Amino acid sequence: MASACILGCTGLTLSAEERAFFKGVDPWGFILFKRNVETPDQVRKLVDALRACVGRPNAPVLIDQEGGRVQRLGPPHWRRYPPGRAYGTLPTGDPLYRREITRLGARLLAHDLAALGINVDCVPVLDVPVPGSHDVIGDRAYGDDVETVASLGRAASEGLIAGGVLPVIKHIPGHGRARSDSHLALPMVDAAYEELDARDFAPFRVLSDMPMAMTAHVVYTAVDPKRPATTSRKAIADVIRGAIGFGGLLMTDDLSMKALGGDFAGRARAALRAGCDVVLHCNGDMAEMKAVVSGTKPLSGVAKVRADAALARIVRTPEPLDLKDALARFEAAFEGRYAA
């Protein structure tokens, strides 16, 4: 039975130690970063090797391929894609056109990823920034209002699913109001619950039918003044599962981020105890991974049901794509700024 974790690896190929570890631990999935990427053939071989370790040909392999400053695959082998904000500010008065191009961009992303065997993209960002918030989200957000973020987040999700790649809505229940970077410190959000519900939670409510979501390492004092959402039973039960109504697989953001305290086993246990279905550890550090795994458990019960349901959303046959025409429309929308 798979372990309730998603893990990374250190390089372009798997070491003997990594192969043995992954075979013994059987993580539910894996995640790739720039350190794991060189050429298309190399990435395909690495993806195949990861799946071979766990003996599951559909094991999820994730990547953060948003576009803009969060893009693990890039030139010369893959095109640059725009950040989310570029879609939301296309120079047109037609919101449906912005939605069309957002979906098209995600469909092209899915085409790139599916060709490598990658079947999960940690997109879309559904955070809604506010004035004074930290720029860790910044132009990764589609806009500064709920309607834009929700509409374009839906379009991006649809484009990925049509191309055979699962989207992951993030960072639930909302990172846009945070005034610090959760990679480096624990953000504290003191807004009233009514404000959070109307703005921060709203895009996630609109996309609550998506198969997967990633938590925010953020404390919302109106919900739980002591614990970030990732390790807060109240935030997960009352807000993510309750007020937002998300019913899919809930994964943590990276457990190695400095927003979280305590040892890695404790972080994993706290997240799973709070109601996360799987935990994520990204940097491939073997000692840290061993500690994370010691704090996890087999993926079972309702968490396994959600995991299986998420994977069942991967379409067997992607939507037809006229690649030449799609690229021409995409490049025309951005006036050639993101040409190959």
The pLDDT tens digits of the residues spanning 3-24 come to 999 999 999 999 999 999 999 9
Kindly tell me the burial class for residue 57, based on how many C-beta atoms sit within 10 Å of its own C-beta (0-12, 13-18, 19 or more).
Answer: exposed
Of the candidates 41, 183, 190, 209, the residue annotated as catalytic is 183
Rounded Cα distance between 200 and 329, Å, is 32
In the chain the beta strands, taken as DSSP E runs, fall at: 3-7, 27-32, 61-63, 65-67, 70-71, 120-121, 166-172, 188-189, 212-215, 219-220, 249-254, 278-281
Q: Which two tokens stand for residue 280?
A: 């994520």
The pLDDT tens digits of the residues spanning 225-249 come to 999 999 999 999 999 999 999 999 9
pLDDT band at residue 337 under the 50/70/90 scheme:
confident
* Nearest in space to 137 (alpha carbons), one of 149, 155, 121, 151: 149
pTM for the whole thing? 0.97
**With contact defined as beta carbons under 8 Å apart, do 249 and 285 qualify?**
no
Rounded Cα distance between 59 and 81, Å, is 26
Rounded Cα distance between 278 and 264, Å, is 14
Tell me the C-alpha to C-alpha distance, in Å, between residue 301 and each of 230, 295, 310. 20, 17, 14
Res 340: pLDDT: 66
175 is catalytic: no
* Phi and psi torsions of 151, nearest 5°: -65, -45
Strand 65-67 to 70-71 pairing: antiparallel
Rounded Cα distance between 5 and 96, Å, is 38
Q: Which two tokens stand for residue 232?
A: 């807060």
The pLDDT tens digits of the residues spanning 60-114 come to 999 999 999 999 999 999 999 999 999 999 988 789 999 999 999 999 999 999 9
127 is catalytic: no
User: Which of these ranges, 40-54, 181-195, 224-238, 285-299, has the smallest mean pLDDT?
Assistant: 181-195
Predicted confidence (pLDDT) at residue 294 exceeds the cutoff of 90? yes
Q: Give one word for 55, left, alpha or beta, with left for phi > 0 and alpha for psi -120 to 50.
A: left
Res 145: pLDDT: 97
The pLDDT tens digits of the residues spanning 297-335 come to 999 999 999 999 999 999 999 999 999 999 999 999 998
Res 327: pLDDT: 96
Average pLDDT score over residue span 134-149: 96
Percentage, residues of the chain above pLDDT 70: 99
Res 336: pLDDT: 75
* Nearest in space to 176 (alpha carbons), one of 157, 150, 208, 155: 150
CA angle 71, 76, 82 (to 5 degrees): 35
Average pLDDT taken over every residue of the chain: 96
Of the candidates 26, 64, 197, 253, the residue annotated as catalytic is 253
Res 181: pLDDT: 84
Q: CATH homologous superfamily of domain 3-333?
A: Glycoside hydrolase, family 3, N-terminal domain (3.20.20.300)
Domain boundaries, the chain: 3-333
The helix/strand/coil state of 189 is strand
